Structure 1
Amino acid sequence: MSQAMILEIMQQVFYTTAMLVSPILISAALVGVVVSIVQAVTSIQEQTLVFIPKMFTVMLIIFIAFPWMMRTLIFLVNVFFQYMLVVAKQQ
């Protein structure tokens, strides 16, 4: 297996990881900002108030996006195995 092939596989892994995690992180960040604005407006300074909406949002996003996430991971694994078949045929 050449260095170029390893680098390409790692690039695909990092890109796929960023693509899969970004909806969860973005939604959690948006909910955190909204809750922080509500806390600032209402002068409620409870630190634990942010966690429950974030937790429900993350669970909802995972529930909604799970089929897409699995298809993406299955595609990545298939690409990885295709690379491995190419390497096995070369040897």
Structure 2
Amino acid sequence: MEATQILDVARDGILTMVIIAAPVLLAGLTVGLIISLFQTLTQIQEMTLVFVPKIIIVYMAVLILLPFMIQQLVELTERLMDLAISLP
């Protein structure tokens, strides 16, 4: 296996990781920002107010996006298996 192939595999792995994680992280970030804005506007300084909605939204995002995540992982695995089979 050449160095370029190793770099391609590493790049594909990192890109797949970003594609899988980004929607869930963005959902958590959006909810955190909205709740922080709400806390700032109403001057409620409760630290635990952020955690429950964030956990619920992240959990729901994972449930909704799970088929997409699995499909991305399957495609990465297929590419890696094709590469492994084509090696001399």
Provide the TM-score with structure 1 as the length reference: 0.94
Match of 2:51 in 1: 51
CA RMSD of aligned residues (A): 0.6
Q: Where in structure 2 are there 5+ consecutive unaligned residues?
A: none
Q: Deviation per CA, 1:19-38, whole angstroms, max 9, x where unpaired?
A: 00000111111100100011
What does the per-residue CA deviation read over 1:5-52, in whole Å, with 9 as the maximum and x for residues that have no partner? 110000000000000000011111110010001111111101111011
Distance (Å, rounded) in 2 between the aligned partners of 1:12 and 1:83:
12
Superposed structure 1 runs of 4+ greater than 4 Å apart: none
TM-score, normalised with respect to structure 2: 0.97
Please, which runs of 5 or more residues in structure 1 have no aligned partner?
A: none
Match of 1:2 in 2: 2
